[in-house]
């Protein structure tokens, strides 16, 4: 299941299912495999696309993390990216 359907997507974003967006889950698995303490890291998510950015942001927030979201309207993009410890882009 890929969460692209309305019901699965709503369950994912409410945190009430173990099923998720495959690419977002893969990003989190890679980060977890590195053994990073994300609570001490400056995390930047580039974009809020349906397949990566928005789901990854939600997965981070489910872990009580506060990623910085960069969109086309974000000011000081370059500065925020340079200060990031972790950058997620899809």
**pLDDT string in tens for the chain (90-residue length):** 678 788 888 888 888 777 888 999 999 999 999 999 999 999 999 999 988 999 999 999 999 999 999 999 999 999 999 999 999 998
Phi, psi angle pair for 86, to nearest 5°: -130, 130
Q: Which domains does the chain have, with CATH numbers?
A: 22-89 (3.40.50.720)
Q: Are 38 and 31 in contact (CB under 8 A)?
A: yes
Burial 50-62 (b: 16+ CB within 10 A, else e): eebbbbbbbbbee
pLDDT of residue 15: 82
Pairing of strands 43-46, 68-70: parallel
């Amino acid at each position: 299941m890929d969460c692209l359907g309305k019901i699965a997507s709503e369950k994912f974003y409410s945190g009430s299912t173990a099923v998720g967006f495959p690419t977002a889950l893969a990003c989190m698995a890679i980060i977890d495999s590195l053994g990073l303490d994300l609570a001490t890291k400056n995390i930047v998510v580039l974009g809020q696309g349906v397949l990566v950015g928005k789901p990854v942001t939600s997965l981070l927030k489910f872990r009580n993390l506060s990623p910085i979201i960069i969109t086309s309207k974000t000011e000081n993009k370059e500065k925020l990216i340079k200060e990031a410890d972790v950058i997620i882009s899809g």
